[in-house]
Amino acid sequence: MSLTTKVFSRGLSTSAVRMAAIKNVTVIGGGLMGAGIAQVAAQTGHSVTIVDQTKDILQQSRASIEKSISRVSKKKFKDDANAGMDFVKKTIGRIKMNTNAEESVKEADLVIEAIIENLDVKRELFGRLDKAAKSSTIFASNTSSLPITDIAAAVERRDRFGGLHFFNPVPVMKLVEVIRTEETSDDTYNSLMAFSEALGKTPVTCKDTPGFIVNRLLVPYLVESVRLIERGDASPRDVDIAMKLGAGYPMGPFELLDYVGLDTTKFIMDGWHEKFPDNPLFNTSEKLTKLVEEGKLGVKSGEGFYSYKK
Which burial class, exposed, middle or buried, applies to 78 when counting CB atoms under 10 A from its CB (0-12, 13-18, 19+)?
exposed
Candidate residues 14, 15, 53, 205; the one interacting with ligand NAD per rule CB under 6 A: 53
Distance CA 32, CA 278 (A): 32
Residue 117 binding target from ligand CAA, ligand NAD, none, CB below 5 to 8 Å by type: ligand NAD
In contact, 100 and 68? CB cutoff 8 Å: no
36 vs 98, beta carbon nearer ligand CAA: 36
Encoded one letter per residue, x for contact with ligand CAA by CB under 6 A and - for no contact, window 205-224 reads ----------x--x------
Number of residue whose CB is nearest ligand CAA: 144
Name, in order, each residue with C-beta under 8 angstroms of 81's C-beta and a sequence gap of 6 or more. Answer: none
Encoded one letter per residue, x for contact with ligand CAA by CB under 6 A and - for no contact, window 227-256 reads: -----------------------xx----x
CB within 8 A of 305, min separation 6: which ones? 236, 254, 255, 257, 258, 291, 298
Which 139-198 positions form the footprint of ligand NAD (CB under 6 A)? 142-144, 166, 168
Cβ(199)–Cβ(168) under 8 Å? no
Q: How many CA atoms does the CB half-sphere of 57 hold within 13 Å? A: 16
Q: Judged by CB under 6 A, which of 96, 169, 210, 216 binds ligand CAA?
A: 169
Q: How many residues bind ligand CAA (CB under 6 A)?
A: 18
Q: Tell me which residues in 10-29 interact with ligand NAD (CB under 6 A).
A: 28-29
Q: Shortest approach of ligand NAD to residue 9 CB, angstroms? A: 27
Q: Does 173 bind ligand CAA (CB under 6 A)?
A: yes
Residue 95 vs 125, nearer CB to ligand NAD: 125
Question: Given its phi and psi angles, is residue 45 left (phi above 0), alpha (psi -120 to 50 degrees) or beta?
Answer: left
Q: Active-site positions?
A: 144, 165, 177, 215
Interface residue list for ligand NAD (CB under 6 A) = 28-34, 51-53, 57, 101, 114-117, 121, 125, 142-144, 166, 168, 260-261, 264, 300
